[in-house]
Structure formats: structure tokens, C-alpha cells
Amino acid sequence: MLRIRGLVHHYPRQPQPALAGIDLDVPGEGVFGLLGPNGAGKTTLISILAGLLDADAGGIDIDGESLAAYRRRHPAAIALVPQEHAFYPMLTVTENLRFFAGVLGLGRTEARARVAAASAATQLEGVAGQRAETLSGGLRRRLNLAIGLLGAPRLLLLDEPTVGVDPQSRAFLLDTIRGLAGDGRTVIYTSHYMDEVEALCSRVAIIDHGRVLAADTLAGLLHDDAGRLALRLAQPLPAALAARLAAQHPALHTHGCEVLLPALEPAALPALLTELAAAGCPAQAVDYGRQNLETLFMRLTRRSLRD
């Protein structure tokens, strides 16, 4: 459905581009995860898809049609649900939904039906007459999502939709989002929570410094013979040994007595443990197994998602 080629965007007075030639293919149905550290270019990319920014170079096609032409023909087909609350606090839930239905230009009958459908999808009927400012964090997130659904979008952009909610609300939102990714709808999902992406997304792209580092099915990304190694040592690594190991394993992370290697071949593990013991910092705890999305991310970007 969505084809992005050579996308570039520069912000004024910034030495490096926010997007430095993004190439990406997003299928026509399902949940697509977009991961990257702060400043990687995720928000810029989503803002361009939502029509809030223009690209300096490159192109975006939807079903073989340019993004601009597609948006002209289908103005409500792409919806952004931002991380910030995007509604009027003094209005009730229903008043907010009716207002934004009006912004979309929906007729009275269609607006009434869309408001009812969005309220039902997010289970907001019980608080329909309540002011938005009195809602809990989870209900505010639901209202954000409900507003995004009013136009029955084919491409739904979700930016950190579960930030600041309790576990029950988070589970509800994830179930709702999982159910939305059908009937030809594509959801692009950004999150700081790796477990959410692993649970929801059939395909994932990891970006950093405005470039795509990896993009594939979740299974394809995680298929690797190298295993994730986490160690707790008796004492921190000596500086010389830490430098030597970092040269051998560029993805090495250390914090006090904790050591993390996102990818280590099984045959290399005994020699490493022997070297650590000989240096006076034997391993007190060893956790070795298949990499997950977080360790893959750290290996590719050499930093954590929140950096």
C-alpha cells in the first residue's frame, strides 16, 4: 500500500537532516512498527505522512498514487493520533467527537453514525456526557483514538498511544488497535514499549539518524544464530579489559557489574567467561538466549530506545 523512496527532510539551522533518504515499504494491511531512539526521525516521518510537513526530496506513493494526489481524492483516509491529547478539555466526549466530525465535513446523519461507531470501538459510551478534562489518563487516550477513527481512515498513524495509562487501559488499547488492523486498514505504530511492538506488529522498521537500519517481518528480524548474553559480574570490568572487549564487540553495554552483549555466537561464550574469571571478575549470573527486539535494537543503534 505505502511506498516511500529517498525521503529527505532538513530542519532550518540543523547541520544534519532529520530524514536522510528513507526507503520503506508498508503492506496494505496490518500493524507496522516504527522504532527509533529520540531524534531518529520517527516524528518527522509521521508528520510528513500526516501532511503536517513537506519532504525536501523523495516521494511517497499510496496504491501507486502520489501522497498529495491520494490525499486530495481521499482527505480523511489518513489519520494521526498524536502522543499529545488532541481534544478540547471543556467539551464532553460526545461534543468533542461531534466537533471533529464537523471538521471532517461529515453530514449530520453520517456524523451521528461515525460518532456512535467510534464511541463503541473505544467503549466511551459510559462517559459520553463527561467533560474531557475529568477523564482518567486511559479514557483520554481512548478519546484521542476515537477522534482518529471518525474519518474511517485506511492509514492510521499512532504515536505512543499508551503513554501514561494504567495496565488495564493499556491492555484495552492494545486489543482495540489489534482489531483495527483489518479490512484493508494499515496502522503505523510507534512506541517505547518493545513488548507492545512484539505483540502487535507483523512487520517492523528500525530507524536512526534519519535512515532505515532494518525492516522486515518480526520473525525475519529476530532470526539470528547469535544469542543475547546478560552477565552480572562479581565486580566491574577493569578499564583495559572493558576497552578490549568493546573493540571486539562494538555492541557491548556495561553498567557497573552488569554486562550486556546483544549478539554473541555460542562458541565464543566459554572463552569469554574464562577471560572474565582470569581478570578477577567472574560471572555471578549468566543469562544467554535468543535475542529479542530490544537487544536487536540496541545492537543496531548502539543505544537504548529512550536515549
pLDDT digits (tens, 9 = 90+) for 15-67: 999 999 999 999 888 999 999 888 889 999 999 999 999 999 999 999 999 99
The DSSP bridge pattern shows strands 227-233 and 211-217 to be unpaired
Q: Are residues 62 and 139 in the same domain?
A: yes
Q: What is the pLDDT of residue 224?
A: 61
- pTM for the whole structure: 0.79
Cα 135 to Cα 127: distance, rounded to the nearest angstrom: 8
Q: What is the mean pLDDT of residues 66-72?
A: 94
* Tens-place pLDDT, residues 273-303: 999 999 999 999 888 876 678 777 877 776 6
Query: In one letter, which amino acid is 55?
Result: A
305 lies in some domain:
no
Q: What is the pLDDT of residue 251?
A: 77
Q: Are residues 166 and 124 in the same domain?
A: yes
pLDDT band at 305 (very low <50, low <70, confident <90, very high): low
Final residue of a structural domain among 191, 222, 253: 222
Total count of domains within the chain: 2
Query: For the ranges 81-85, 120-124, 179-183, which has the lowest average pLDDT?
Result: 179-183
Q: Are residues 65 and 79 in the same domain?
A: yes
* pLDDT at residue 130 is higher than 90: yes
Q: Are residues 205 and 272 in the same domain?
A: no
The answer to whether the beta carbons of residues 49 and 157 sit under 8 Å apart is yes
268 lies in some domain:
yes
Question: How far is residue 129 from each of residues 107, 126, 199, measured CA to CA in Å?
Answer: 22, 8, 34
The answer to whether the beta carbons of residues 104 and 76 sit under 8 Å apart is yes
The answer to whether the beta carbons of residues 187 and 181 sit under 8 Å apart is yes
Beta bridge partners of 33: 189, 204
C-alpha Rg value of the chain to the nearest Å: 23
pLDDT band at 192 (very low <50, low <70, confident <90, very high): confident
Q: Are residues 208 and 268 in the same domain?
A: no
Q: What is the mean pLDDT of the chain?
A: 90
280 lies in some domain:
yes
3-state secondary structure of 294: helix
Residue 303 grid cell = 543505544
Q: Are residues 165 and 104 in the same domain?
A: yes
Q: Are residues 61 and 204 in the same domain?
A: yes
Q: Are residues 105 and 252 in the same domain?
A: no
Domain that holds residue 188: 2-222
Q: What is the pLDDT of residue 249?
A: 83
302 lies in some domain:
no
Q: What is the pLDDT of residue 290?
A: 67
Residue 82 grid cell = 498524536
Cα 282 to Cα 302: distance, rounded to the nearest angstrom: 25
Q: Are residues 272 and 156 in the same domain?
A: no
Q: Which residue has the higher pLDDT, 307 or 146?
A: 146
Q: Are residues 94 and 193 in the same domain?
A: yes
Question: How far is residue 303 from each of residues 113, 154, 217, 220, 235, measured CA to CA in Å?
Answer: 46, 34, 22, 22, 23
Q: What is the pLDDT of residue 51?
A: 93
Q: Are residues 130 and 275 in the same domain?
A: no
Across 87-91, 196-200, 250-254, 288-292, which has the greatest mean pLDDT?
87-91
The DSSP bridge pattern shows strands 57-62 and 2-9 to be antiparallel
Q: Are residues 199 and 268 in the same domain?
A: no
Half-sphere exposure at residue 292, Cβ-oriented, CA atoms within 13 angstroms? 13
3-state secondary structure of 97: helix
